[in-house]
Amino acid sequence: MVERALPLDETLHEISVDVGRVPLRFPARVPWAIAMVLSLMLVGLFLVSITYLFARGVGVWGLNIPVNWAFAIHLYVWWLGLGHAGTLISAMLLLMGQDWRNSLNRFAEAMTLCAVVCAGIEPIIHLGRPWFFYWMFPYPATMGVWPQFRSPLEWDIWAVLTYLTVSLVFWYIGLVPDLATVRDRARRRGWRVFFGIFSLGWRGSALHWDRWRRCYRTVAVIAVPLVVSVHSEVSLLFASGQIPGWHSTIFPPYFVLGAAFSGFAMVAMIAIVMRHTFQLGDLVTERHLDVLAKVLLASGLMTAYGYVFEVWDGLYSGNVHEIATIHDRFFGIYAWSFWGAVFFNFVPLQALWLRSVRRNTVLLFLIATSVVVGMWMERYMILTTSLYKDFLPSSFGIYHASFWDWSTYIGMIGVFFTPFLLFVRYIPSISIFEDKEVLAREHEESGNG
Amino acid sequence: MSARAPDGTGRRWWQSLEELAGSESFAETIKAEFPSLFEMARVDRRELLRVMGASLALAGVTGCKPAKSDDAVPFVNRPPGFEEGRIDHYATAVLTDGFAQPVLATTVAGRPIKLEGNPEHPASRGATSFLTQAALLDLYDPDRSQAPLLRGTTADWADFDAQMQRWGAAWRANGGAGVRLLIAPTTSPTLIRQIEQLKAALPKLRVHLFDPLTGYGADPVTEALGAVQPLLRLENARAVVSLDDDFLGAGPAQVANAGGWAKRRGDVPNAERIRLYMAEATPTLTGANAQHRIGVRPSRVPLLAAAIGAKLGIAGPASGLTAEEFGWVNSAAAALLANRGKALLTVGRHSPAPLHSLAASVNQRLESSAIEYLEPIALVPDASYLDLVRDIESGQVAALFMFGANPAYAGPADIDFAAVARRIPLTVHAGIHYDETAAISAWHLPVPHPLEDWTDARSIDGVATIIQPVVQPLYDTRSLHTLLAGFMTDEPPPDARAIVRQHWAERLADENGWNAALKMGFVAGTAAKPATVSPRPMPIEVQPPPGGIEIVIRPDPTIRDGAGANNGWLQELPKPLTKVTWDNIIAISPATARSFGIAASGEPASNRCPMIEVESGGRTVTGPAWVMPGQPDDVATVYLGYGRRGVGRVGNGIGHDAYKLRTAAAPWTATGTLLAVPGMAVVATTQTHHRLEGGEEVPFVPAADARYGGATDGESIYPRWNEGERAWGMVIDTDLCIGCNACITACQAENNVPVVGKKQVYEGREMHWLRVGRLYTGQPDNPGTMFQPIPCMHCEQAPCEMGCPVHATVHSPDGLNLMVYNRCIGTRTCSSYCPYKVRRFNWFDYTTDAPPSIEAQRNPDVTVRGRGVMEKCTYCIQRIRGCAVAADIDNREILDGDIKTACQQACPTNAIVFGNLADAGSAAAKRRASPRNYALLGELGTRPRTTYLARIEEGEEQA
Amino acid sequence: MAQVFSRTADTRFRAIVLAILALSIGSLFVAGVYARSQYMTDVARTPLQPVPFSHKHHAGELGIDCRYCHTDVETSAGAGMPSTHVCMSCHSQLWTNAAILEPVRQSLAQDRSLVWHRVIRVPDYVYFRHDIHIAKGVACVECHGRIDRMPLTYRAKAITMQFCLDCHRDPAPRLRPRNAVLDFDWKPPADSKALEQKLVRLYKIHSPEALTQCGVCHR
Amino acid sequence: MVEKPLGILAEFDNQDRLLDAAKAARNEGYRSLDAFTPFPVEGMSEVLRIRDHRIGWLSVIGGFAGFFGMLLIQLYVNADFPLDVGGRPILAWPAFFVVDFEIMVLGAVLTPIIGMFYLDGLPQLYHPLFSTPRFSLASDDRFFLYIDASDPKFDKESTRAFLRSLEPATIEDVIE
């Protein structure tokens, strides 16, 4: 018999309570406060870093010619990749009718939002003259000059903006009914006004539910190809150049898979942490983690295939420069990033073939972490190894991340966590009504069966 | 005259200041036009520009809001001939080792902003060396000394004159007993004449020469041949054998030699091609361009000379050659014999006298037309620096005047000049910097830069140039002529112009002749007369090779003896072979390096070089060990010019002072030991990569059938864009490029390319728009070396343009890959996509807080780039536009050759040709049609407008 | 359970939402207008000059040729500002005691330049040349307006890049015979089209594409 | 309790009972029915005959508008200032479509959502239902059937009686 997403002894009301209490009577004040303070400190670091950056110029980073893209761009790819899981989980699994998603999608989407915001900041602060970033939008300027729509960078701007907006509204309309639930549970007037406003006066009318479903599914249907398109375009930012190691048709699928891979890992990490901190064990069950781990394994294997194929692609091309780049990735001075990516993305992952490991939260957490690290290295590898030795030996040069590279990146982690912490604090971080739906269905099944 | 100004607006070639001088208002002109130049170091830039009344584009690229109105400040009296923004070209010269380098100085609003070669001058034919290009920056050097100093405190010329009058009187009384001049090399006829007059007036006065670039004792050439000036005529040479003579390297003759060499390269028939045999103790440009090169320990050079001599029946037989040396000697000697009349044996300036004697005899025997011996051009001193020191120590020197000499820094290590000088009652130093010697002299007198003073000089073929000022003197300086005149008169000495004019009075009696000479840039018929040489027979003593390490001491390839140390352009210019900037290294061979456990230099990630210590005679220098392909084993090469203390903010305290290893007796070699010492040095090199590539980027074609299969334009799925009647393009002949870097400095001067300093270069952020790639082939112990200048390719299907999201880099109908700085937001996508990586980025604000005097040098026709924008080679678009506008104004076509890019104009070998490819008759189009033509990375389908001609492989010997 | 919000809450809430929308869209529009406003373009800005010089009087009423003072306009990038000497060549005879001319006399006496304030100045990265425009028959009035009617000189046109482009894209209507370039009262003939075509041929005016390539003005 | 109620609200404790009740009410001839549930109840739309396809169409329209709107902009800017970019054609369709696709997605997502809220009449912070004491449970674990007074068959007494026959947990009048 199929394993249930939720335990039967749970009642609808308990779900409301379990989830609703998180915002209303916050269970984990102390750990949350600590986390918040830490992440605010990181935000401070970030602000200091970009202040210095804007004051002095992008030279404060370790960039040079030829390696004139490094941290900002590879982190842009990395953050965006982390983000994709949220949309995939909520949209794709919704369409596939995967019940287990309902306990994960809400905070997965929130994670997406935070990640996309970080991803959006990176390319703007990496500009030589960030105060002119708006020149990338088509507005009737007195200069009479327009943006250049053949540029992959132009594509990316629109892709990221669209993705940010879509993720936001998708997350929000899913949230409205739950905000209503919390509104009705709330005692203090402040809370009731707060949730009252953001639930827009949702009443759960059958007619509204009907429209809501159509709408939610429509958005889901569109969101899936969107994810694919967004990261494909990110990959085109590289593939459109003729630089060896970039100029390859494998890039779009390769990037999308890697993105999903790292994203699922991120979701797993967050799921495990929240499950422990907020005692949501009844809602985020072992089965959830188990399924998540399977997805992680699957996407990981696909990514590994991507690696193999990329190397094969280069060798098969017979192009001296491509082959040189591959050789360089294996043995060059940045080989650590290549082998690091291979190791962290592939080796620990294999443990997930074992059911026991999939259900062991600690191990799963560690494996997920290694994947996130591995993908970080992969993105770094793709940028530097291709740029620092491209065609002409007289132009080869090396790159070392400077202090400000690191401080900006580490600070950015705070920019990611601060809004996310606010979300888990003040907003039902698990979809209440969708879990109720599942539970009700299971009650029926058990009733009939 | 034939040519037009490069920008097309200067209707006044050869225009000379004399014409202005004719009118009374000249004085006011100067006052009205340049007062701020006196002040420049102090006043702020706005002030300067105001008085200039010229609209200079100095500010960086700014945002959307157009700048608010500026002030417009007209003259009170407009000087005759002044025209707003007009560009004049004055014929004059700058000096290298005292020899004239004839130039046309491009001036805007009274400021020279660029030096071009003088096309009419027989010695240069319009080309310039990187030294000549960089001489301009010396004029604007903010660290120049600006007033007389008495024991380091600012004094007044009046004070000095008062002193001078007392001394002068006394000396004229005692015949100048104990008065000595220590003078840097000079070829100025006026100065030489003045010195003769001075010696007539003060019979006991003696003149000593100080020239660290030739040595401190008697000149070996003079010893062997008497006072003559050897002059190479490589255009007549078929076979050249060089024993450690770097005649293509930096120096006064570089342009002439390179020009002659190039006449026998490229598209000449194989039989006429020059064959170059080089035996050298350390890799040089000449060795890099030699077909048959061996590296030998310096102690072996005399042996090789003797061996070659033996083959030609001069000097006794030589034994003990290694197999390699034997083979080289045989083929070299064979080539010499086979090309009687067109053969040349040349030895290094620093070689001992017997070798010079031998070479001269050999060349005479071969009736070589490739070398001439001329009557001396430079000042022939009474005695050497060593004689001076001896006299000082024996207390015979009462007063020492040092003109341009800096013995305290550039003297040999075994003479402590500071100590010696204390025994002299009166020491006077005249120089452009308050340098190490000035610091220990009683008086320091600032002298003017040749571009702001009247003087004269002769080029290596003896042709005299009258050097006229092209800018009002920036500081309160006084010329050597005036100073010397001060010895002989009690009246205030006449000014330099009067003295020079007076010197030329008989040859250029009337003003017309004088003006003509000024306009032409040289005095016709002053070429040096041939001298008859009878080489004193001298036995070549061949010492047994000393044990341990042999140390070779050479001038630095860019800043040479250290005189150029405060010149940012020279410091940032990559040394031709190592591509190191801002530093001197200690070169050792790969094998020697291995024996010290040192890995090959500069593989990426190791711009850090291990430190190594060179010891000789108890003195040591420590510097970065550089593994130099082609360096002979057990030989360490150290380079002079660094470790300075008294030259200025740019040059002080960088590198190590190799003079510490120099002895008066043997200034060019030493023996000693190497010691690997702990620690790594950061060496800023612009080419971190030194693997042996083979001819992938620079293909070889056989001399017999010089054609290269590489297609220029691949097929494209895109329809070709409009083929206008103008299609700019450039063709670079890799067979002609000697890697001298003149193009880089010329580009830097023309296009306001900033100097960014050692740290930035180390970080990989040098801003040169044009780099000269250095490629090795073959084996590290004796590799083939090639050079490839790489400017922007101006691809017709440019990947960079495709990447820019804001249309900041686009294509013009005439085929230029435009870079619109003020539209650039700095995404750097263009550079990521550029397969040639020729784009440069303003990582910081490199321009705003440059010293005012540096800003005065900037080319007003080129935008000064601000922070955060991309920049790159523009094919000198300012010259193209200027010429196009001039042509459009009088509705005519642009003629081929009207537009020369800065790099093309400077190139001594005409390796670079620029022009309109759409005009089949243009030089560029003809070259592009050559079978040797190929596109760099053409297989990428970028359709570059800059293409190359393949290098011609050495054919078999045509005995 | 009691109501959280009053009846009127909705009206207020919706009003606020709409207001925010309106503001965000409106601000963009305002920015666009602002960029074209006189403040940004300096149109009609009349800088205070050391001497209240009247082009209306000199160029208009007296009909002095532009080139008498702006000598370089045909031969170089800048038009050239008259030296004090030029002013005094007349004013040593006329109005020799006029108070407003005092600064001019001082300038000559003390050999100190008059400091005029530019009415139009393009940014440093724009390379505008007067000579080529004059040579191709583009009249002063096209950019400077009716200088001959300005008692005090002010900026007549908004010198934005768009302004330059408009002309470079369609130069023909702005052309006139060279001898009419300085003539403020010149009227195009009846068959102006024919003249335009003639001038375009005669002066070899480049194609709009060639005239609007960035390198024409930016280097 | 003089004035006429806006409608009557019957509370059930699970969705099946609610569905039966709704069916019954339909058969009884009531038309202005509505149900309030903590989550969308399977089959409720069918019972209440709710068929609103406008959402889908809005999405289609939004998508088209986005795609062609952006394409028009791209065509215009390239026609307004045609520049040779890397020798690529002025109308580089494949490159343009990328952004067009993104904007299509944007349109296809935003229009149905805005449309939904518009059709729902949301936001509506104040609603009479909120005054009824037990209504707050509609967002927790209770299921409500609502018959509106506007229904022709509505009568305070008989409707109450009818609802009571469905054995709800509670019955309440919804009053202003």
Model confidence pLDDT, tens digit, residues B111-166: 899 999 999 888 888 899 999 999 999 999 889 998 999 998 989 999 998 888 88
What average pLDDT does this structure show over A341-353? 93
Chain A residues whose beta carbon lies within 8 Å of the beta carbon of residue D77: 138, 146-147, 149
Average pLDDT, chain C: 90
Evaluate whether B676 touches B596 at the Cβ level (below 8 Å).
Answer: yes
| pLDDT higher than 70, residue A6 | no
Distance from B848 to chain C by nearest Cα, in Å? 14
* CA–CA gap between residue B87 and residue A88 (Å, rounded): 66
Structure tokens at B895: 């003629």
Residue of B722, B797, B812 with shortest CB distance to D86? B797
Partner C, chain D 64-83, Cβ-Cβ below 8 Å = 81-83
Residues from chain D contacting residue A213 (CB–CB below 8 Å): 40
- Return all residues near C26 (Cβ < 8 A) that are at least 6 apart: none
CB contact under 8 A, B806 and A148: yes
Partner-chain residue, chosen from B693, B763, B940, that has the shortest CB–CB distance to A64:
B763
Between these two residues, D47 and B431, which has the higher pLDDT value?
B431
Is the pLDDT at B496 greater than 70, yes or no? yes
Q: Which of D103, B495, B143, B695 is nearest to A226 (CA)?
A: D103
> Which residue reads 């004051």 in tokens?
A55
Q: Give B371's strand partners.
A: B232
Q: Which chains touch C (3 or more CB pairs under 8 A)?
A: A, B, D
Write phi, then psi, for B108 (nearest 5 degrees): -125, 130
Query: A89-104, pLDDT tens digit by residue?
Result: 888 888 877 777 777 8
Inform me whether the pLDDT recorded for B701 exceeds 70: yes
Domain ranges of chain D: 7-52+130-174, 54-120
How far apart are alpha carbons B294 and B632 in whole angstroms? 9
Burial zone of A335 (CB within 10 Å; 0-12 exposed, 13-18 middle, 19+ buried)? middle
3-state helix, strand, coil in chain D (%, to 5): 55, 15, 35
Q: Could A193 and C5 be called an inter-chain contact, meaning their C-beta atoms sit closer than 8 Å?
A: yes
Residue B273 in 3-state DSSP? coil
| Of the partner residues B66, B76, B881, the one whose CB lies closest to the CB of residue C85 | B76
Whether B811 sits inside 8 A of D85 (CB atoms) is yes
Please count the structural domains in chain A: 1
* Domain containing residue A82: CATH number: 1.20.1630.10
Residue A225 in domain: yes
Residue D135 has its nearest CB partner, among C1, C6, C7, at C1
* Closest-CA distance of chain B to residue A16, Å: 49
Q: B25, B29, B78, B769: best mutation site toward chain C, by most C Cβ within 10 Å?
A: B78
Indicate yes or no: CB of D113 within 8 angstroms of CB of A211: no
A447 located within any domain: no
| pLDDT band of B51, cuts 50, 70, 90 | very low
Q: Do A389 and B775 touch (CB under 8 A)?
A: no
Q: Which residues of C touch B901 (CB under 8 A)?
A: none
Query: In chain C, which residues have their Cβ closer than 8 Å to the Cβ of A201?
Result: 5, 10
The beta-carbon neighbor of A392 closest among B790, B832, B867 is B790
Neighbouring CB atoms inside 10 A of C18's CB total: 10
Rounded-to-integer distance, Cα D159 and Cα D35, Å: 16
For residue B113, which of B752, B914, B614 has the smallest C-alpha distance? B752
B285 neighbors B576 (Cβ within 8 angstroms): yes
Contact B919, B925 (CB under 8 A): yes
- Residue C219's pLDDT is 85
Per-residue pLDDT at B6 exceeds 60: no
Q: Which of C3, C17, C213 sits opposite D126 (nearest CB)?
A: C3
List of chain C residues whose C-beta atoms are within 8 Å of the C-beta of residue A184? 1
φ and ψ at B197, to 5 degrees?
Answer: -60, -40
Helix (H) and strand (E) counts in chain D: 5, 4
Closest chain D residue to the Cα of A234, Cα to Cα:
D98
Based on the number of CB atoms within 10 Å of its own CB, is B403 exposed (0-12), middle (13-18) or buried (19 or more)?
buried
Q: Which residues of A touch D50 (CB under 8 A)?
A: 206-207, 210
CA torsion, points A336, A341, A344, A349, in degrees to nearest 10?
Answer: -150
CB contact under 8 A, B607 and A392: no
DSSP state at residue D135: G
Interface probe with B: pick from D74, D80, D84, D90, most Cβ of B within 10 Å: D84
Gyration radius from chain B CA atoms: 28
Report yes or no on A9 lying in a domain. no
pLDDT of residue B42: 32
Chain A 188-207, residues with CB within 8 Å of chain C CB atoms: 189, 192-193, 196-197, 201
| pLDDT of B281 strictly over 90 | yes
- Residue B312, CB-side half-sphere exposure with 13 Å CA sphere: 31
As for the ipTM of the complex, it is 0.91
Give the pairing type, strands B549-554 and B635-639: parallel
Of B697, B684, B694, give the one whose Cα is nearest residue B836.
B697
What are the CA-CA distances from residue B456 to residues B100, B280, B671 (Å)? 8, 35, 41
Q: Is the pLDDT of residue A404 over 90?
A: yes
The 3-class secondary structure across B500-531, one letter per residue, is HHHHCCCCCCCHHHHHHHHHHCCCCCCCCCEC
Task: List B208's β-bridge partners, or say none.
Answer: B182, B383
> In percent, how much of chain B has pLDDT > 70?
88
Q: How far is A127 from chain B (nearest CA, A)?
A: 5
For residues B67-94, one letter each, b for 16 or more C-beta atoms within 10 angstroms of the residue's C-beta and e for the rest, the string is eebeebbbbbbbbeebbbbbbbbbbbbb
A217 touches chain D (CB under 8 A): no
Task: Identify the band that residue B21 occupies on the pLDDT scale cut at 50, 70 and 90.
Answer: very low
A134 located within any domain: yes
Least Cα distance to C83 among D99, B23, B28, B202 occurs for B28
Name the 3-class secondary structure at D35: strand
Tell if the CB–CB gap between D59 and A196 is shorter than 8 Å.
Answer: no
Tell me: pLDDT of B36 over 70: no
| Residue located via tokens 């960029």 | C35
Summarize pLDDT for A168-226 with one digit per residue, the tens.
Answer: 999 999 999 989 988 888 888 888 898 889 999 898 898 999 999 999 999 999 998 99
Average pLDDT (B236-257) is 93
Q: How far is C122 from chain D (nearest CA, A)?
A: 22
Token pair in block for residue A277: 């901190």
Rounded to an integer, the average pLDDT of B464-478 is 90
The model carries a pTM of: 0.89
Cα distance between residue A432 and residue A178, in whole Å: 6
Q: Per-residue pLDDT for B28 more than 60? A: no
- Render pLDDT for D83-123 as a digit per residue (tens, 0 to 9): 999 988 999 999 999 999 999 999 999 999 999 999 988 88
Give me the residues of D, 21-50, that contact A with CB < 8 A. Answer: 34-41, 44-45, 48, 50
Please list every residue in chain C whose beta carbon sits closer than 8 Å to the beta carbon of residue B893: none
Residue A4 in domain:
no
Pull the structure tokens for residue B956.
């078999």
Q: Is the peptide bond before A419 cis (omega within 30 degrees of 0)?
A: no
Higher pLDDT, A381 or D140: A381
pLDDT average, residue stretch C78-92: 88
Reply yes or no on whether the pLDDT at A413 is more than 80. yes
Sheet bearing B99-108, strands edge to edge: B87-96, B99-108, B111-117
Q: How many CB pairs under 8 A join C and D?
A: 33
Query: How far apart (Å, rounded) are the C-alpha atoms in residues A12 and D15?
Result: 12
| Phi, psi values for residue A56, rounded to 5° | -95, -35
**Domain assignment of residue A315, given as a range:** 19-441
State the Cα–Cα distance between residues A373 and B565, nearest whole angstrom.
Answer: 49
Task: Return the structure tokens found at C3.
Answer: 């109501």
Tens of pLDDT, residues C119-130: 888 888 999 999
Res B33: pLDDT: 40
A446 located within any domain: no
Asked whether residue A49 is assigned to any structural domain, the reply reads yes
Q: What is the mean pLDDT of residues A21-41?
A: 83
Q: Is residue A3 included in any domain, yes or no?
A: no
What are the Cα distances from residue B530, in Å, to A334, B51, B309?
A: 63, 51, 25
Residue window 97-156, chain D: list those with CB within 8 Å of chain A: 98-99, 101-103, 105-106, 108-110, 112-113, 116-117, 119-120, 122-127, 129, 136-141
Contact A145 C161 (CB under 8 A): yes
Residue of A nearest to B602 (CA): A397
Q: Which residues contact B682 (CB under 8 A, 6 or more apart)?
A: B607, B608, B762
All residues of chain B having their beta carbon less than 8 Å from the beta carbon of residue C160 are 66
